[in-house]
Structure 1
C-alpha cells in the first residue's frame, strides 16, 4: 500500500493516513507510546477521532500491530516492526476471522469479522506484582509479569495491563484499580514474604459480586499451593514460568479449550461457568516452550522503574544445572539457554529507554540462576552474549556455579580455557558475577548436595580474584542440622585472608591457574581482606523450603514445626539448641539492618565509578560488624552445655542480647560517619533516599523479625 518508512512511529503515520486520516497528520513524537498498548490506543483514538472507526493495538513490542477501522468498514492492519505480515506466526483463531489482502507487506487492508474484533478486545487481563516497600525500598524491573505479558500479547487475544506495587501503588490502590477496571482475568505474582499481601488481595477480589478469573504465580505460590487452594477454591495456580499458562488461559476464556488443557495449572473446584466441584487438586501437563521467546519482556514498566531509581533485569536462560538439597524447584538439573537472535533488537529498545535516564547506570542484571550452563558451546555462547551486551554499551551482572571456574574432574587445559573466558568476559563488560558458595566446610556442602568441596571453593575464589573478576558470594552460615564444630569452621572460613587475591593482569591464565594452588603465591598475592567482605549477606540461616530434600531430612530428624506461608517454608528447631538460639539472634541482627543494607546494595547497582566504590565500602562497615557478632555468638555458645536446660537457655539468650546491644551501639557511630561521608558524592534524590533509610534505621527499637507472625497449620 505504501513505501516502507524507517521507524515504528513513522509507520503508524502511514497506516493512519491509509485509514483515512488527513495527509498532513504529523508523526507521533512520544517515544514511550509504543511501550504501553493502552496508552498507545488512547492516543490514536483521541488524535484521530472522527476520521477513523475503532482502534485496536495488539501483539508484543517487537511485533506491535495497529489495527484501525476505516469509515468504509474495511480495516488497516500495520505491523509497526516493518516486517511483512506473513512472517508472523499468526494464532489459529485469525485464519478465518482476519483476512489480509497483502500479507507480503507490513501494511495491508484487511477484512475483520466481529468475532475477530471481539477477540482483539477481550478478555481484559491485569497482571499485578506485589511488594513490601518497607523491606525493599528500591524497585527492580518486574521481569516475571513482563515476560508473561509478552506471551499473552503474542496470542492477539484481548488486552493486557500491568501493575507493580514497587512503583508507588499501595495494596488499597491495587484493589481499587481492580474494582474500577473490572478485568476479566487477574494474574498475581507473589514471591517470598508476600503471603499476607496475597491473601488480603484475594479476599478483597473474591468479595466482589462478579470476581475475575484469578491466577496466582511466582516462587511463593507453588510452595503453598495447597494452603491457597483450600482457602480460595476458585483460585488458579500457575506452577511453571507462566508464559504457556497465560496464553492457554486466554484461549480458555474464549471457550477454545478446557481448563484441563491449560498447561502448568493447579486448581480445585468447578470449571468456570458452573459444573460439579472437583474434590482434588488438578494440574495439566507442561508443554515445551521456546525459551528464546519466553525470556523477552514487554517494557511497559521500565520507565516507571527508572523514575523510582530502580534497575533493569533480563534473563538469558532458564533452569539450573545443580540439585542442591535446599532447593525445591522442579527445574533442578534442567537448564536451557535462550538464543541470541532477539537480543540485538531488545538491547536497542532498552538503550532507547536508558538514554532518557542518563543518571541510571547502564547495567543489566541477568537473573539467570546459571549463566553458563553445561552445553558444549557454553564458553562461546557466554562470550557471544557478553559481546552483544558490550557493543550495545551495557555493563552486566549475573550468577554462576563455582564448578564453572574450578572442577576437579576437568583437565588443566579446561581450567586454562575457563580462566581465559573469565578474563574475556570482564573485558566485555562483566561488572560482577554471583557465586553460590554456601559453605567452606565439606560436611555442610555434602548436606547441601552442592557437589563441591571447601578446597574447590577456595581455589575458585582465588582464581576469580587473581583474574580480576568482580565477584560476590552467597553463604549459608546456620542450618538446623549443623554441629558447633561446623559453625566454628564456618566462622574460620569466612575470616580467611588467603582467598581474596589482588588482580594479576601481568600473569597469563595458565600462570594464574597454577599459582592459586600454591600457598606461597596466595600469601604473596593476598589483599589481606577477609573472605566475608565478598559475601553478599552475612549471618544467613538455612530456610527449610516446602518440598526440598533438606526439609525432608529435618522432618525425619523430628525437628520440623509449623508452615510459614509468607516464606513458603517449614519452621525448624536446631539439633543443637545453642545454635538455634544463636541463629535466632543472628536473624534479628540481619532484619534490624536489612532495609538499610538493601538500600546500600540497590544504590550500588544504579551507580558507577567512585560513588559505587564508596557505597560498597559503607556496606563493608555492616559486614565487619556482622562477622564480629558471629564470633561473639560462638564465644557464648561455648559456655553452655549441649544438654538443653531452660535456665541455661535463658542465660544464653540474655548474654547474647547484651553482646548484640553493645555491637549495635558501636555500629551506630561508625555507620553514621560512613553515611555522612557518602552524601556529598550523591545526587539530591539518592542522598535523600539514603538519609530517609538511615534515619529509619537509627530510630528503630527492639529486635523483631521481618517474617515472624504468619505460621499456619500444614
Structure 2
C-alpha cells in the first residue's frame, strides 16, 4: 500500500483532515451538478477559514459517482472521494495501481509523488454548444457537449468547461472565456441551422490563436461537420472533424495532446495528415454501460430560462428504413443502458429537480424508447424498468418516443398485443406522461414513399390503444413531399387529421380486461364511437404543415434520382453543393401546385415558429393550470393551420364541390370575410397563372394570420393576468413582440434562396 504521508499536526494538509472540515468539503463535492471550477472556488473559501497557506491548490474532477477532490500542497496531496473509496479512484489507480491503494478509505494524504502531481495537471478543454437564440429561445439540457464533458471527467482526463449559447451567452463571451481559460482543445457541436453562428465563433477563435494567448486544437462535431468534413477542413485546415459517437473520440484526442497516442489512432475523426491529404479513421462505439449522466454545469441557467431536462437512455433505431432519415452519422444499431444504470440516472435527476424546485419531468432524446433487443425481449425489458420505477417510488415523469408498430402491428398475434398493452399501461403508471409517435402521413401512398412500414389504419389503432390506456400523445407529421402528384395524398392527409375515431377517453381496463379491450378497439365501431374523446388527430401533431426535407445521405434522395430518370428532369438542383447549414438538398417538386401550397405552408410555419416553439417548450415544464392555457393555444393554432390548407385545396381543386363550406372557425370566432374571400379566390380565373397564384396564396395567408392574432391576444391577456408566466429574462414576451413586428412578412427562415420554390417545367 502507498504509505500515508507523515506530517506535523500544524501543517495545512493535516489541519484539513479534521472531521468537521472534511464534512464541509464533502458537502460541496456532493453537489455533483456543480461545474468543477465552481466547486473548487467553494472549497478554497473553506480552506481559507482554517489555514493561511496560500500555496495550496485545489482540483475537483470526476462525475456523480466518482467525483474527487484533491488539495495539493508542497508536502503532499489530500484526496477525498465522497461517493466511493480511494481504491476505486481511476486517476490514483493509473498512478499507483489498485492493489497499492488504501482500502475502505474516503480520504487519504499521499506523498508529493511527481507522477501524481503530473497526472493532476489536467489538460484544459472548452466545449461550446452554439445556438441561434431567436429561433430556439427556450433551452434544453445539451446532451452533445454534456455527455462528452461528463465522459472526460469520469476518467479524470481533462479539466472541462462548458458554454451553452442557449443560456444567452454571446460569441464575445465564448472568446473571452477561451482567452482566460486557455484550453488545449476547443470543441464545437454544430447541429442543423447553427453553421452561421458556429463560423462566427471559429473565425474569432482563429483570430485569437496566438501561442502566447491561446492556441487550442479545434474539434468540430455533430451532424453538420460530420456530413461536410471537407468544407470545414478547407476553411480550417488544422481542425479535426469528429463523426458518429464522440466519447471515445474526444478521449483519444486528449490522449493525443498528452503525447500518449498518435493522431491516426484516434477513432472517428477526419483530418488533414502530414501530407495535407484528408484522412479518416474508423469509428468505435462506446459501450452504453460506460456512459455517465450528462454534465449538469448549466442547470442553474436552465432553471432561470425555464428550460427542459433531457436525457438519453438509448442510441440508434432498430427500424433504420425511413427514407427521410439520414443514418450515417448515427449508430447503425439500437443499444440501451442497463436497467440499473437508467434507474440510477433517474435518481440523480430527481435530486436535481428537488434541489432546484424543478418539476420532476425528463424529456428522453432517444429515437426509439422500446427499441429492438437481439434476444427479442423488448417487452420484458420495459416492463421490468417500469416495475422498478414504481417499486422504488422514484417519481420521475418522462416524455418518450416510439414507432407505431411498437404499439400495434398486424403481423403480430393477439398474445403479443396483450403483453404490449400491459407494458404500455405499466409505463403510464410508472411515469410516462406523453409518447411521441412518428405517424408522418395519413396517405398510404405517402407512407410507402416514407418507408414507414405502417399504414394510416395501423396508426389509428395505435392511437386508440394508447389513449384508452390514458397515455397522452403527440405526433410527427410530414404533410408534403416532392414526389406528391395531384391533391389526392393531401386530401387524404386532411381527412386523416380530422378523424375523431382515434383518440379515446381513458378506459377502465379492469372492467374489460386487456384481451377484450384490444378486440373492441380493433373491431367494434359502436364501442369506439361510445368512448371516442371527440378529439381530432391534428390536435396531437407537434408541427403542422411540414414539408419533406431531403437530407444528405437519406434514402429519399435515391428515390428522387430514380424519379429523375422516370420524368427525364433534374429534381436535385445542388447534388454536389447541398445546403451545408441545414444538411439538405435543393429539390424540385414534380407538381407545381403542390410546390406552391408547400412553400406557402413553410412560410406559415416560419412566420409562427418562434411563438409556437416557445409556447410548446413552455408547456413542457409549466404547472398544471398554465399547461391547459398553453395547450389550448397550440390546438387552436393547429386547427387554423389545417383550415388554411383545406382552404387552399378548396380554392385550387377543380373537382371539389364549390358549394361545400368549411368550418372556418377557431375558438368560436368567425372571420367575417373569410367565406366570401375564399369563394372569390376559387372563382378567380387568373389562379392558374403561377405568379398570380403566389399572390393569391399570400392573401390567403394574411386572412388566416388574423385568426392566429386573436389567439395571440388571448395569450397576452393571460400573461398580463399572471395566468401564464414568462422566463426570468422575458423570452416569451420577446417572442410575441417579434411576432407582432413581423406581421405580413412571409419569408423562409433557413432557406434564403427559397430552395423549395421549384417545380418541373
Residues 91 and 374 of structure 1: CA distance in aligned 2, closer, same or farther (over 3 Å): farther
Q: 1:85 corresponds to which residue?
A: 86
Matched, 1:421 2:463: no
Q: Find 2:616's aligned residue among 601, 604, 621.
A: 601
State the Cα distance separating 1:688 from its structure 2 match.
Answer: 5.1
Three-state SS of the structure 2 residue aligned to 1:627 is helix
Q: 1:661 corresponds to which residue?
A: 702
Gaps in structure 2 of 5+ consecutive residues: 2-10, 565-569, 656-685, 756-761
Matched, 1:698 2:746: no
Determine the C-alpha separation between the residues in 2 that align with 1:316 and 1:445.
Answer: 28
Matched, 1:159 2:159: yes
Q: 1:623 corresponds to which residue?
A: 638
Q: 2:366 corresponds to which residue?
A: 368
Task: Give the 5 Å matches for 1:379-398.
Answer: 379-389=379-389, 391-398=393-400
Determine the C-alpha separation between the residues in 2 that align with 1:688 and 1:187.
Answer: 30
Q: Find 2:227's aligned residue among 219, 223, 229.
A: 223
State the Cα distance separating 1:92 from its structure 2 match.
Answer: 7.9
Residues 648 and 295 of structure 1: CA distance in aligned 2, closer, same or farther (over 3 Å): farther
Asked whether the equivalents of residues 564 and 711 of structure 1 are also in contact (C-alpha less than 8 Å), the reply is no
Task: Give the 5 Å matches for 1:671-690.
Answer: 671-677=712-718, 679-683=721-725, 685=727, 689-690=731-732
Determine the C-alpha separation between the residues in 1 that align with 2:385 and 2:184.
Answer: 39
State the Cα distance separating 1:106 from its structure 2 match.
Answer: 3.1
Determine the C-alpha separation between the residues in 2 that align with 1:710 and 1:197.
Answer: 19
Q: Find 1:561's aligned residue among 573, 586, 597.
A: 573
Which stretch of structure 1 is more off in the superposition, 316-325 or 168-177?
Answer: 168-177
Q: 2:57 corresponds to which residue?
A: 54
State the Cα distance separating 1:364 from its structure 2 match.
Answer: 0.8
State the Cα distance separating 1:158 from its structure 2 match.
Answer: 2.9
Task: Give the 5 Å matches for 1:107-506.
Answer: 107-111=107-111, 113-207=113-207, 208-210=209-211, 211-267=215-271, 269-270=272-273, 276-280=274-278, 282-294=279-291, 296-322=293-319, 323-330=321-328, 331=330, 334-358=333-357, 360-375=358-373, 376-389=376-389, 391-484=393-486, 485-505=488-508, 506=511
Q: Find 2:554's aligned residue among 540, 544, 548.
A: 548
Three-state SS of the structure 1 residue aligned to 2:641 is helix
List per-residue Cα deviations over 1:467-491 (Å, max 9, x = no partner): 2211101011011111222122122
Asked whether the equivalents of residues 120 and 158 of structure 1 are also in contact (C-alpha less than 8 Å), the reply is no
Three-state SS of the structure 2 residue aligned to 1:561 is coil
Determine the C-alpha separation between the residues in 1 that align with 2:636 and 2:687.
Answer: 35
Which stretch of structure 1 is more off in the superposition, 543-552 or 25-34?
Answer: 25-34
Determine the C-alpha separation between the residues in 2 that align with 1:342 and 1:107.
Answer: 26
List per-residue Cα deviations over 1:55-113 (Å, max 9, x = no partner): 322222320111223442x22222221x22333555985357x9954155332333454
Q: 2:516 corresponds to which residue?
A: 511
List per-residue Cα deviations over 1:301-335 (Å, max 9, x = no partner): 22221121111111111111112111112346510
Determine the C-alpha separation between the residues in 2 that align with 1:164 and 1:581.
Answer: 38
List per-residue Cα deviations over 1:204-256 (Å, max 9, x = no partner): 11222243101111233222223222222222111112111111111010111
Q: 2:590 corresponds to which residue?
A: 575
- Ranges of 4+ aligned residues in structure 1 off by more than 6 Å: none
State the Cα distance separating 1:157 from its structure 2 match.
Answer: 2.3
Residues 491 and 369 of structure 1: CA distance in aligned 2, closer, same or farther (over 3 Å): same
Determine the C-alpha separation between the residues in 2 that align with 1:489 and 1:433.
Answer: 24
Asked whether the equivalents of residues 17 and 23 of structure 1 are also in contact (C-alpha less than 8 Å), the reply is no
Asked whether the equivalents of residues 440 and 454 of structure 1 are also in contact (C-alpha less than 8 Å), the reply is yes
List per-residue Cα deviations over 1:357-376 (Å, max 9, x = no partner): 33x32101111111111223
Three-state SS of the structure 2 residue aligned to 1:365 is strand
Task: Give the 5 Å matches for 1:624-663.
Answer: 624-638=639-653, 648-663=689-704
Three-state SS of the structure 2 residue aligned to 1:249 is helix
Q: 1:527 corresponds to which residue?
A: 533
Which stretch of structure 1 is more off in the superposition, 171-180 or 258-267?
Answer: 171-180
Asked whether the equivalents of residues 295 and 317 of structure 1 are also in contact (C-alpha less than 8 Å), the reply is no
Gaps in structure 1 of 5+ consecutive residues: 2-14, 271-275
Asked whether the equivalents of residues 515 and 522 of structure 1 are also in contact (C-alpha less than 8 Å), the reply is yes
Asked whether the equivalents of residues 538 and 626 of structure 1 are also in contact (C-alpha less than 8 Å), the reply is yes
Determine the C-alpha separation between the residues in 2 that align with 1:525 and 1:369.
Answer: 31
Structure with larger Rg? 2
Asked whether the equivalents of residues 90 and 156 of structure 2 are also in contact (C-alpha less than 8 Å), the reply is no
Asked whether the equivalents of residues 121 and 157 of structure 1 are also in contact (C-alpha less than 8 Å), the reply is no
Determine the C-alpha separation between the residues in 2 that align with 1:142 and 1:487.
Answer: 36
Residues 244 and 710 of structure 1: CA distance in aligned 2, closer, same or farther (over 3 Å): farther
Q: 1:592 corresponds to which residue?
A: 607
Task: Give the 5 Å matches for 1:10-29.
Answer: 18=14, 20=16, 25=21, 27-28=24-25
List per-residue Cα deviations over 1:436-483 (Å, max 9, x = no partner): 111122221111111111221121112112222111010110111112
Q: 1:707 corresponds to which residue?
A: 750
Determine the C-alpha separation between the residues in 2 that align with 1:44 and 1:436.
Answer: 48
Asked whether the equivalents of residues 154 and 292 of structure 2 are also in contact (C-alpha less than 8 Å), the reply is no
Asked whether the equivalents of residues 347 and 389 of structure 1 are also in contact (C-alpha less than 8 Å), the reply is no
TM-score by length of 2: 0.84
State the Cα distance separating 1:428 from its structure 2 match.
Answer: 1.1
State the Cα distance separating 1:47 from its structure 2 match.
Answer: 3.6
Asked whether the equivalents of residues 718 and 724 of structure 2 are also in contact (C-alpha less than 8 Å), the reply is no
Three-state SS of the structure 1 residue aligned to 2:494 is helix
Which stretch of structure 1 is more off in the superposition, 654-663 or 219-228?
Answer: 219-228
Determine the C-alpha separation between the residues in 2 that align with 1:433 and 1:16.
Answer: 56
Three-state SS of the structure 2 residue aligned to 1:477 is strand
Determine the C-alpha separation between the residues in 1 that align with 2:12 and 2:652.
Answer: 75
Determine the C-alpha separation between the residues in 2 that align with 1:591 and 1:283.
Answer: 37
Q: 1:273 corresponds to which residue?
A: none
State the Cα distance separating 1:639 from its structure 2 match.
Answer: 5.4
Give aligned pairs, total. 684
Residues 75 and 317 of structure 1: CA distance in aligned 2, closer, same or farther (over 3 Å): same
State the Cα distance separating 1:636 from its structure 2 match.
Answer: 3.6
